[in-house]
Amino acid sequence: KMDVEVVNFRDKLSKVDKLHSYKVIAQMNDYYFKIVKAKRDFIWHSHPETDEVFMVIQGNLEIDLRDKTLYLKEGEMVVIPKGVEHKPLCREECHVLLIEPTGTVNTGDSGGNLTDERIEWI
């Protein structure tokens, strides 16, 4: 039987001591809820097989699309549809919740040295 517990974002984020280290904090069916502390200009990529949710817990997140830039602040979220190229940017440290299928790679179809394949639960 599964243990049902409340997940506190602030508590979980306090356990993340490195930037750009994705941590799984919950799972719903085949979806992970991942948190990350970020401060970087990421790469252009897409996820051909899945939509992806970005929810800003703290700070500001910009997401470049090919035709516009989205500006998200604390308490806001966006769903990036599958196949849509996007490039996240955090000019200052921001804390983000990602909701995506298990097995989704952060760099999508682009790969490269920014790929984080370690799945660590906290």
* 8 A C-beta contact, residue 67 and residue 61: no
Environment class of residue 90 by beta-carbon count within 10 Å: exposed (0-12), middle (13-18) or buried (19+)? buried
Beta strand pairing call for 69-73 and 94-101? unpaired
pLDDT of residue 107: 67
pLDDT per position as a tens digit, 38-85: 999 988 999 999 999 999 999 999 999 999 999 999 999 999 999 999
pLDDT per position as a tens digit, 81-118: 999 999 999 999 999 999 998 887 776 677 777 667 67
9 secondary structure, DSSP code: H
* 8 A C-beta contact, residue 24 and residue 34: yes
**Residue count (the chain):** 122
Beta strand pairing call for 31-38 and 52-58? unpaired
Percent over 90 (pLDDT), the chain: 75
pLDDT of residue 79: 98
Q: How confident is the model at residue 24 (pLDDT cuts 50, 70, 90)?
A: very high
